[in-house]
Chains A and B, each alone.
Chain A
Amino acid sequence: MLSYILRRLLSAIPTLLLIVTIAFFLIRLAPGGPFDLERPLEAKVMENLNKIYQLDKPLIEQYWLYLSAVVRGDFGPSFILRDFTVGELFARGLPVSMTLGGLALSFAILVGGTLGAVAALRQNSLIDYVVTGMGALGLTIPNFVVAPVLQIVLGLALAWLPIAGWNGGAPLNLVMPVIVLALPQIAVVARMTRAAMIENLRSNHIRTLRSLGLPSLTIVVHALRGAALPVISYLGPAAAALLTGSVVVETIFGLPGIGRYFVEGALNRDYTLVMGTVVVVAVFVLLFNLVVDILYAIIDPRIRYD
């Protein structure tokens, strides 16, 4: 197992290199540059800026410089948010995004998993219909609708929660963004858990447990473990997406996460910021896919990687 993990980590290096390369040249293909403002800067100023940020060098040399810096852990300075390096921006924003995403993820697993399991155990009952119906709602109503509605109801009308802001991560400030982030995930997890549970409850080995007269709790535990597999394979990529922040949620609630950097960076041709975001997201995706595979092997003894 350990050697498998090591192999997987090693094989992530060429993948990352490929992603970085493609992203680097793609963003350079976009017209314009980081210092193209509405009123063009003086030629001399522009020249100096380009020199400072090494944008005057041939593209291939810039690529090489960037790569060698990244290997040392240096993501370079941000072009737009002066005085900050990309590393510093992530050091501030990533914990915010990860807190929100992590909470939303745990919330989604707990609530979605429970709802899905209950719905499966009471298939075609009222609660089953409620869960499947709400699941459809959670998926179809976009977060930029849910978020303002929550802000108006919970923030303004009832005034139970602060409308927006990070406030050093105070629990009350987290409630609404976490709910908005978690809702669609709850819907998906509930639906997947329900489907997988139903399939498992009908399987022959559950029939064996029933024929042995075992209590329903034992049967539920066995069915849940089997049902966890498809849900986990969905949760891997979902976790990567949640933990790297959401543009919409962070913008609406005015949160200093990293979700908005991707959009802002791309629009402003902040090359280093875009590249930094790409690397962070790629690392998360690779990491969580590995986590999924490891969890799979732990849950299902038939899967062996050695």
Chain B
Amino acid sequence: MTEPVLAIRGLQVRFRTGDGILQAVKGVDIDINAGETVAIVGESGSGKSQTMMSVMGLLASNGWAEGSVKYRGQELVGLSPEKLNNYRGSKLTMIFQEPMTSLDPLYRIGDQLALPLTTHGGLSKTKARERAIELLELVRIPDPKRRIDSYPHELSGGQRQRVMIAMALANNPDVLIADEPTTALDVTVQARILELLSDLQKRLGMSIVFITHDLGVVRRFATRTYVMKSGQVVESGETSALFASPKHPYTKMLIDAEPRGRKEPAPAGAPMVLDAKNIEVNFATKSGWFGKTSHVLRAVDNVSLSVRAGETIGVVGESGSGKSTLGRAVLRLLPASGTVRFEDRALMPLDRAGMRPLRRHLQLVFQDPFGSLSPRMTAGEIVTEGLLVHEPRMSRKERDRRAAQAFEEVRLEPAWRNRFPHEFSGGQRQRIAIARAMILHPKLVVLDEPTSALDRSVQKEIVDLLRDLQKTHGLAYVFISHDLAVVRALSDEIMVMKSGKVVERGTAQDIFERPKEDYTRDLIAAAFLNQQEPDATPLAS
């Protein structure tokens, strides 16, 4: 067997933190051979990113690596940044999870692309510019001659990731490390970026290391896979063999964690909870001294939505499709036109004070479990805050009892209600956010991407929890998500939104098995990267 391009042996990464020394990577062996695609899979905190960050010498200043990383026989661990600069950016390159912030917002992309070319390739400024245009063409940025003078904020997330790829490929590297390169992007964009990467690999022949939690990507692109947990490689091997017969319980759990199961249909004749008709939301951009409306963006365009007790409507679409705006509009959190009826009351004529008593029945859970909980209140205070408004006469003792009850309901230890949000994991925080909604015994909950920020295995638990709560309390859900796998597992009916309009709607089964619109088909095709292949284990629960 030929010598691997990159050989990692006994790599350990430690961080000096306020609570002492934290070992993030505990002795990892990984080989990357020339021209192959290797995936490193694991959930957040498994040390998969830190392993590769230490290869690139990009650990945070309080972290350090021990062990050995050899690039074609050259030891990289312990090299000074100056010496390391002979390899990174030319032989070893990396693209990151955050395309929106990985480019310097103050410089034109042409100037940023030219940096690795002039530094490592020794090209002159004009030559570097020519080559930069070629590179933009290579990563299929339309109109590269004009785009080269754009600033990053003038490009979309997908285009920015393409520019990052172009920068990484500028000097024909041997190894491209891609750290969750598509996680922050819409599904259809994800698919295109992944296709681009695999196509470029065929043409340029570099090795690719995918760091990912997305098993769909692994299955489709990686020849070999390493599974990491708590800083160690727990299992590795040929991808197909690994998926066919996973040995380690953690690998089994990961593969099992893909959301599955379907929702049982809501009982027939259940009462209508929310009925919204012809919802329209406009955002106007104002300019000039007198605030003349210069541009009107129709975020939601004539959308109707109704949901019965015990029923879930899935709202699917990519970012900017208006799905979150729709969720807020039906709760009257945004100025909108149209009619909204909650049970037997019309909501549109009500003012803020008129809405207030109804709010307890209409709850909202947000995507970001970190930003949506006040860091200065205990979990118990956060959960019971709604009771202060809706049941002001309730005694402190009774409130506390209700908090404990709500914690139990979302399967959190009731004794934890005196802790602060930062003491909880992402999944636990999302449970707190759900408890905050549930404590008021709502009738309708709008769930705005409640699982997107979570690991797959945690997602599965939250999906199960939501399903159980719905069954017990006969809740109506409006479930907003770009993740079709989760939507399918939870919804009775699905609306597919694009540019503020509903392009297709139908039962979950119809949408997935007989999609009518191209856009829906695209979404499903792209999302199936995250799914079992059709011939893998059957999905039915």
Judging by beta carbons under 8 Å apart, are A214 and B85 in contact?
A: yes
Judging by beta carbons under 8 Å apart, are B115 and A218 in contact?
A: yes
Judging by beta carbons under 8 Å apart, are B93 and A226 in contact?
A: no
Chain A contacts for B86, CB-based, 8 A: 213
Give the contact stretch, choosing among B98-106, B124-132, B259-267, B275-283.
Answer: B98-106
Chain B contacts for A214, CB-based, 8 A: 85, 89, 115-116, 119
- Contact residues of B: prevailing secondary structure: loop
Judging by beta carbons under 8 Å apart, are B56 and A211 in contact?
A: yes
Give the contact stretch, choosing among A54-62, A201-209, A248-256, A283-291.
Answer: A201-209
Interface residues on A, range: 20 to 34
Cα of A86 to Cα of B379 in the assembled complex, Å = 64
Is A264's beta carbon under 8 Å from chain B?
Answer: no
Q: Within the complex, which residue of B89, B108, B151, B289 is in contact with A213, where a contact is CB–CB below 8 Å?
A: B89
Cα of A123 to Cα of B60 in the assembled complex, Å = 13
Chain A contacts for B107, CB-based, 8 A: 222
Is A212's beta carbon under 8 Å from chain B?
Answer: yes
Chain B contacts for A218, CB-based, 8 A: 115, 119
Which of A204, A215, A225 has the most CB atoms of chain B within a 10 A radius of its CB? A204
Is A210's beta carbon under 8 Å from chain B?
Answer: yes
Is A74's beta carbon under 8 Å from chain B?
Answer: no
Residues 25-64 of A, flagged 1 when their CB comes within 8 A of B and 0 if not, give 0000000000000000000000000000000000000000
Judging by beta carbons under 8 Å apart, are A204 and B101 in contact?
A: yes
Chain A contacts for B104, CB-based, 8 A: 205-206, 208-209, 222, 226
Cα of A207 to Cα of B151 in the assembled complex, Å = 18
Task: Name the interface residues of A181-222: CB closer than 8 Å to any CB of B.
Answer: 202-216, 218, 222
Cα of A222 to Cα of B116 in the assembled complex, Å = 14
Give the contact stretch, choosing among A128-136, A137-145, A265-273, A294-302.
Answer: A294-302
Closest to B167 in A: A212
Chain B contacts for A205, CB-based, 8 A: 101-105
Q: Within the complex, which residue of B96, B119, B167, B289 is in contact with A215, where a contact is CB–CB below 8 Å?
A: B119
Q: Within the complex, which residue of A207, A216, A222, A225 is in contact with B58, where a contact is CB–CB below 8 Å?
A: A207
- Interface size of B by CB at 8 A reads 36
Cα of A222 to Cα of B112 in the assembled complex, Å = 10
> Are A212 and B116 also in contact (CB < 8 A) when A207-B58, A225-B106, A299-B106 are?
yes
Q: How far is the CB of B484 from chain A (nearest CB, A)?
A: 28
Q: Within the complex, which residue of B88, B101, B108, B153 is in contact with A211, where a contact is CB–CB below 8 Å?
A: B88
Chain B contacts for A212, CB-based, 8 A: 88-89, 93, 115-116, 119, 167-168
Judging by beta carbons under 8 Å apart, are A211 and B105 in contact?
A: no
Chain B contacts for A207, CB-based, 8 A: 58, 96, 102
Closest to B60 in A: A202
Cα of A216 to Cα of B80 in the assembled complex, Å = 12
Is B189's beta carbon under 8 Å from chain A?
Answer: no
Closest to A219 in B: B81
Judging by beta carbons under 8 Å apart, are A211 and B89 in contact?
A: yes
Judging by beta carbons under 8 Å apart, are B90 and A302 in contact?
A: no
What are 14 A-B contacts with C-beta separation under 8 Å? A204-B98, A205-B105, A207-B102, A208-B96, A210-B58, A210-B81, A210-B88, A211-B88, A211-B89, A212-B119, A213-B89, A214-B85, A216-B81, A300-B105
Question: B residues bordering A, Cβ < 8 Å?
Answer: 56-58, 60-61, 81-82, 84-90, 93-94, 96, 98, 101-108, 115-116, 119-120, 151, 153, 164, 167-168, 289
- Given pairs A210-B88, A213-B86, A226-B106, 18 additional interface contacts (CB within 8 A): A123-B61, A204-B101, A207-B102, A208-B164, A210-B58, A211-B56, A211-B88, A211-B89, A212-B116, A212-B167, A212-B168, A214-B116, A215-B119, A218-B119, A225-B106, A226-B104, A302-B105, A302-B151
A-B CB proximity, top 4 nearest: A213-B89, A212-B89, A213-B85, A213-B88
